[in-house]
Every structure is written in C-alpha cells, then in structure tokens.
Amino acid sequence: MGLKEYTIRRVITGLITILVVLIFNWILFRLPSFVMGKDPIWLYVIQQVQTGMDPKRFIALLIKYKRLWRIPSLHAPLGLWIDHLIIYLKNMFTFNFGISMKVAEGKEIAPLLAHRIMYSVFLLLPATLISISVGILIGVKLGANPGSRLDVAMMSIALMLYSIPIFWLQVLLKGVLAGQLGIWPAAGGVFSLPQQAPDPLIAFIDAFYMISLPILTLVLANFAGWMILMRGSLMDVMGEDFVLTAKAKGLDETTILYKHAFRNAVLPVVTSVVLAIAGVWTGAVITETIFTIPGVGSLLLNAILNLDYALCEVTFYFITLSTIFANIIADISYALLDPRVKY
C-alpha cells in the first residue's frame, strides 16, 4: 500500500472516528435527562432558573434557539429521536452551532469560538514551540552522554516536574511573581489582542509581556516530556549498528551525533511535535483558568460551570475534532518522513 492509499485510509478512519465522537457526544449530553426522567428542555430550563436566570428571558432565548426546540420529549417515539440525531449531525458538520444560552447570552457560538481560538493559539503556540526546542536541545545533550552528571540532574528535575500538578506551579508562580513581588503584570489577565488596540506594535509587545508568565509556566511544565522523549529516542539510535560503524570509521563525535544519530532519532519526535503544534487551538483549560485568558479551554470550563449545554457540547466537539485532525496529520507526516514505516 502506498502513501496515497494510506493517507486516504487514515482520513476515512478519522472521519469515522469523528462520526463516532459526534454520536457519543449526542448520547452523553442527553444522558442526564434520561437518568433523571425529565424532558431535556425541562431539565435545562429548571437548572437555568435555579441558577438565577430570568425564566421569561430564558424562554425568549429558547425560541430563538431553534435547534434546542427540536429536541423531542423524553417519551417521544424512537423515529423522532433519530430525526433529531440526523439534524444534529448535519448541524455539526456544517458548523451550524446555534447560540450560547448562558455564558454569552444569545450569541452565536461559532464566531465566539473563533474569537476564543485566537487567544488559545496566542498562548499555546509560543509555549509549545519554546518547550519543544528547549526539550529537544537538552534531550540531545542528555541522550549523547547518558549517565553523566547533567543527565542525572535533569532527569531528577524531570521526575519532579512530572509529579507536580501543573496548576500548583502556576498558582505559586502567579502568586509570587505577579502578586507578591509584582515583577509580572497582573498575571495574564484579559489582554487585548493587537488588532483591537490603537498601536498594534506596542499592543502586541504588551500582550506578549502579559502572556509571558503563563507561557513560562507551560514551558516549565512541558519541556521535560520533550526532553525525555528526545533522550530516549537518541539513546536507542546510538545503540544501533550504523552508529557503531560510523564510530569504527573514526568519525568525530559531533558528526556522528548530528549527521547520523540525530536525524534518525528525531523521526519519532516529529510525530509528537506535529501532534502538539496541530493541537494548539484546543486550548489549555487549567492555564487559561488560572491566568484568566479567554481561550477555548476556559470557554469549556465556563460552559460546564454555568450549565450551558449547547456551548459545552460544541466546545467539546471542537476540541475532539481538532485532536483527531492533529492525529491524522501526525500519522501522515510520520509516514511521509520515515520511509521504513509499514502502513
């Protein structure tokens, strides 16, 4: 099977996964009403009124929000439910997401999501790139001389960073650096993206300064993973025969490391790199919450905490969709780069 067929097959399996995810999502969000024995809309309305929304205003929104009205009652025949599922799938595939009921009252979800993606990318793209480069740079150093003093030290740090909760590190750094010492601006905060400010350049620098602390914490939390990946991969390659041959030929260490070993060792890392970079718009729930960055992750959390079903459904669908696409891209890129891979 050639690369072309592999790609096609991978895309098709990806699409099937998306379909399964959609159906899974659809069932998941209708499960509570079945378990509680209440009509979906009633459950929704009751909860919203309980959490302090004006019922009249809410019903006005419901009328506006036609997709929700199409949800059949609990005891409706199966056919109606299947019709509903088909409409739902059609809406989801055509990005007709409807409106948010609570978090952004009455606003369309699709533009809201698009707006939030910018913030997530602005946070996660630099963070991911920096942590990948730092991780790979250190990882190469460690993989070339396993067992050295640097190796032991860095691996202990990695172990430590692995076992700490990232939110703890972030809360501490935010509290100390931004709160008590005041070195950083009020920790992330709702910054404005450059195009909304009068002077784009200054606004950009400003925004980047604001977001540098969350980026720093993300790099601290993530670089160790890349480091270990690179180190392990390089150590495997360094043990292979062609490296031994190169050594026997009398090539110097640097040439062996960068010309022979590194090129082979970086292949498995590339998959993860593609996966990580392709996933930057899915947001980081915890980081965005702590540093109050209005990204996709904090949107999901807000939707969940405010019981905004529709928004929650769509955001989760979006995150899953992005991850599946990232997976597909990663798999194909790996097949593209490594000719040895068997499809």
The reply to whether 134 sits near other proteins by the rule CB under 8 A is no
The reply to whether 43 sits near other proteins by the rule CB under 8 A is yes
Closest CA to 143 of 157, 155, 127: 155
The reply to whether 29 sits near other proteins by the rule CB under 8 A is yes
Smallest distance, Å, CB 255 to other proteins? 26
The reply to whether 316 sits near other proteins by the rule CB under 8 A is yes
Between 187 and 215, CB nearer to other proteins? 187
The reply to whether 100 sits near other proteins by the rule CB under 8 A is no
Between 81 and 167, CB nearer to other proteins? 167
The reply to whether 21 sits near other proteins by the rule CB under 8 A is yes
Cβ atoms of 185 and 149 closer than 8 Å: no
Q: Which of 55, 106, 111, 165 binds other proteins (CB under 8 A)?
A: 165
Cβ atoms of 271 and 257 closer than 8 Å: no
Selected range binding other proteins among 59-67, 113-121, 247-255, 309-317, rule: CB under 8 A: 309-317
Cβ atoms of 305 and 296 closer than 8 Å: no
The reply to whether 289 sits near other proteins by the rule CB under 8 A is yes
Q: Please state, in angstroms and rounded to a whole number, the distance separating the CA atoms of residues 77 and 67.
A: 18
The reply to whether 334 sits near other proteins by the rule CB under 8 A is no
Cβ atoms of 281 and 296 closer than 8 Å: yes
Q: Which of 197, 251, 277, 304 binds other proteins (CB under 8 A)?
A: 304
Angle subtended at Cα 324 by Cα 124 and Cα 2, rounded to the nearest 5 degrees: 120
The reply to whether 15 sits near other proteins by the rule CB under 8 A is no
The reply to whether 120 sits near other proteins by the rule CB under 8 A is no
Residues 6+ apart with CB under 8 A from 207: 122, 191, 192, 193, 194
Between 17 and 91, CB nearer to other proteins? 17
DSSP string, 135-201: HHHHHHHHHHSTTSHHHHHHHHHHHHHHHS-HHHHHHHHIIIIIIIS--SSSSS-SPPPGGGSSSHH
The reply to whether 310 sits near other proteins by the rule CB under 8 A is no
SS3 99: strand
The DSSP secondary-structure symbol of 260 reads I
Q: Which of 132, 142, 213, 301 binds other proteins (CB under 8 A)?
A: 301
Total residues found in the chain within this entry: 343
Cβ atoms of 212 and 173 closer than 8 Å: no
The reply to whether 41 sits near other proteins by the rule CB under 8 A is no
The reply to whether 300 sits near other proteins by the rule CB under 8 A is yes
DSSP string, 187-242: SS-SPPPGGGSSSHHHHHHHHHHHHHHHHHHHHHHHHHHHHHHHHHHHHHHHTSHH
The reply to whether 239 sits near other proteins by the rule CB under 8 A is no
Selected range binding other proteins among 16-24, 62-70, 136-144, 255-263, rule: CB under 8 A: 16-24
> For residues 173-202, which are near other proteins according to CB under 8 A?
174-176, 178-180, 186-187, 189
Smallest distance, Å, CB 14 to other proteins? 9
Cβ burial of 2 (10 Å; 0-12, 13-18, 19+) is exposed
Identity of the amino acid at 244: L
Closest CA to 91 of 108, 106, 115: 108
Binding-site residue total for other proteins (CB under 8 A)?
55
Q: Which of 63, 305, 336, 341 binds other proteins (CB under 8 A)?
A: 305
Binding stretches for other proteins (CB under 8 A): 17, 20-21, 28-29, 31-32, 35-36, 43, 47, 147, 159-160, 162-165, 167-169, 171-172, 174-176, 178-180, 186-187, 189, 279, 282, 285-286, 289-290, 292, 297-298, 300-302, 304-305, 307, 312, 315-316, 319-320, 323-324, 327
